Amino acid sequence: MAVAATSPLVLGQGLGNSPYSALGVGELYSEGNITNMGMGNLGVSNASPFYLNMQNPALLARRSRFTVYEIGLMGQVKSLAQNLNGGVQNQRDFGANLGYLALAFPANSRWSMAVSLRPYSYVNYNTRQYRPVGTTIYEAVYNYTGRGGLNKASFANGFRIGTNIYLGAEAAFLFGNITNASDSRVLINDNTSAGEQDLLVSRFNRVNYSDVVWRLGAAWRPKLNEKWTLNVGAVLDPQTRINGRQTDIYQQSSLGGQTVSAPDTILNSSNGRVVLPSKMQFGISLEKNNVFVAGVDIGYQPWGMFRTVSDVPTNFASGLSVATGMEYTPKANSTRYRDLITYRVGFQYNRMPYRVDGAQVNDVNGSIGLSLPLGAYLVNHITISAVGGQRGVLTGSQIREQYIRIGLGFSFNDWWFRKQVVD
């Protein structure tokens, strides 16, 4: 992957320009909310009665009698760099997006439900390559652009079985489209006013996706003593085949926009399926009565099983993630404001499925966050989280991305379905 970002600043959908989003179904968003973001995205085994857990549906049953409505916003500043032509080329970039909208409410004391809408992935890249044409003196230029992404609308249920066993399931509808375009020409005559101009060969590919995916979750919360509880959780996303309709168009034109050959539709709304590999996650944490939580999550996804909508395998490797984090609230049952502020810190290591020059790309980041209580009874919260990290290294043709990601979340709790009492 020898590419160079061509724009000094890109303001687009998703979280900004990312050459890696050209692969697969794009750059995947985190499954956690802004609260989890501040503690390394820890959330497979731990949950809070004040916030919504969207990583493990089983832990919805830990919700109290309150209904919670959550909104998340995300922004990212990124610096991209790559070794090219004996030097380092750099680009700075910014992107922002709505993180999620979610609502969770209790059906009874043992059963809670949640609905949510959030982005699942995004594609946003603009790259250029230069290559020599055989043994000639000429050089060819190749431009690649991509836009779009998938969204996820979900309905989840969590159940408490007995005293400390929790089971849950989520059904979600994935939908959206991804457009990839490319063009190439041999650099001979770029004067658009001249009689002869370079021939521009273009290709346009668009895929519309829509299908249902599932997630299963389980958790066990045995009490160790009056203060401490052990949390164990597991989540499985089964392998899924996503329906896609693909349109592929090829065309030749001049630099001035004159058509040399009529558009050739290679595929027109051709049906196919993308294979999304299964994902397994396991988490364990230690909790002290809504005051302190610390734990570790591990996730594994065999991306070698991925297939494009045309049933073509890729060069992906298996992905691995390890997250560790902690959360601390000085005194959860206090009435003083400063005692109810929650502080978080976390660390995450991701072995990405992307291979460049035969080596897998790694993503390493650290995070901090805090939640400030709001409202008359201090049960609502505004959460701020920040993540700083690096993906890739300046070795070979890898692209190094150094980023700072900021999340802003709002959690509103209320007691719905109360019986009115007349005194």
User: How distant, in Å, are the alpha carbons of 241, 319, 353, 395, 400 from that of 359?
Assistant: 28, 13, 10, 10, 13
The string of DSSP letters for 261-322 reads EEEEEEEEEEEEEEEEPPEEEEEEEEEETTTEEEEEEEEEE-GGG-B-TT--B-----EEEE
Distance, CA of 95 to CA of 89 (rounded, Å): 20
Query: Can you give the pLDDT at residue 332?
Result: 81
Query: Can you give the pLDDT at residue 1?
Result: 41
Tokens of 49: 């009665």
Query: Can you give the pLDDT at residue 5?
Result: 43
Query: Can you give the pLDDT at residue 12?
Result: 38
> Residues with Cβ < 8 Å from 314, sequence gap 6 or more?
23, 24, 303, 306, 307, 308
CB 82 within 8 A of CB 397: yes
The string of DSSP letters for 206-264 reads EEEEEEEEEEEEEEE--B-SSSEEEEEEEEEE--EEEEEEEEEEEEEEETTS-EEEEEE
> Residues with Cβ < 8 Å from 44, sequence gap 6 or more?
55, 56, 233, 234, 235, 281, 282, 283, 297, 299
Query: Which residues does the chain have with pLDDT short of 50?
Result: 1-12
The answer, as to whether pTM is greater than 0.85, is yes
Distance, CA of 399 to CA of 280 (rounded, Å): 28
In the chain, the domains with their CATH numbers are 4-414 (2.40.160.60)
Tokens of 356: 């460049």
Q: Rounded to the nearest 5 degrees, what angle is found at the Cα of 176, between the Cα atoms of 173 and 181?
A: 155
